[in-house]
Amino acid sequence: MNGLMVKVLIAVLSVGAGAAVAGESSDDAIDPKVEKACFRVRDTRSFEAIDDRFVYVRCVRNKHYLLTMENVCMGLENSTKVAISNDFDRVCSNDRAMITYRDFNQRKRCGILTVESVKDRDAALELVKERRKPTDKEGTKEEE
């Protein structure tokens, strides 16, 4: 290999490594208290849009999950024909999985940001309720 090709190869590998590191840190930036969880799409038994930002999923073997969407998905709460999709059978936080749904006969898609394991539907509803509450410390940084 000549010197120019080696420099280009090193530059490409450096950019790829930087992207991988950035991807790892963005997952942790979501919420350090969130237990990372995954589920298989084919194990899904039912799901319910709690509102336009959160979806509760019930799977086989009494497994329950709370999905948080990347953005507010207008019309998700009252939608029809909801489907969960991903390039792979497993759905995990930040893996580009999508919720596809119909809102007034219009097809819409929304990205899944986080997948959290919860005890049951009531636990999912409680988490959503907590996250809707405004907090006094929101936006402030704790001193170390």
As a whole number of angstroms, the longest Cα–Cα distance in the chain is 63
The model's pLDDT over 4-63, given as tens digits with 9 standing for 90+, comes to 333 333 333 333 333 333 333 334 444 555 567 999 999 999 999 999 999 999 999 999
pLDDT tier for residue 70 given thresholds of 50, 70 and 90: very high
Higher pLDDT, 13 or 69: 69
C-alpha to C-alpha distance for 118 and 115, rounded to whole angstroms: 10
Each domain of the chain, given as residue ranges in start order, spans: 38-132
- In this structure, what are the phi and psi dihedrals at residue 8, rounded to the nearest 5 degrees? -65, -45
Q: What share of the chain is helix, strand, coil (3-state, %, to 5)?
A: 30, 35, 35
pLDDT tier for residue 67 given thresholds of 50, 70 and 90: very high
The model's pLDDT over 82-115, given as tens digits with 9 standing for 90+, comes to 899 998 899 999 999 999 999 888 999 999 999 9
* Residue 98: exposure state from Cβ atoms within 10 A (0-12, 13-18, ≥19): middle
* Ordered DSSP codes for 45-88: EEEEESSSSEEEEEETTTEEEEEEESS--TT-TT-EEEEEE-SS
- In this structure, what are the phi and psi dihedrals at residue 94, rounded to the nearest 5 degrees? 55, 35
Predicted local confidence at residue 19, as pLDDT? 33
CB 52 within 8 A of CB 72: yes
The CA angle 82-65-107, to the nearest 5 degrees, is: 15
Question: What does the pLDDT average to over 62-70?
Answer: 96
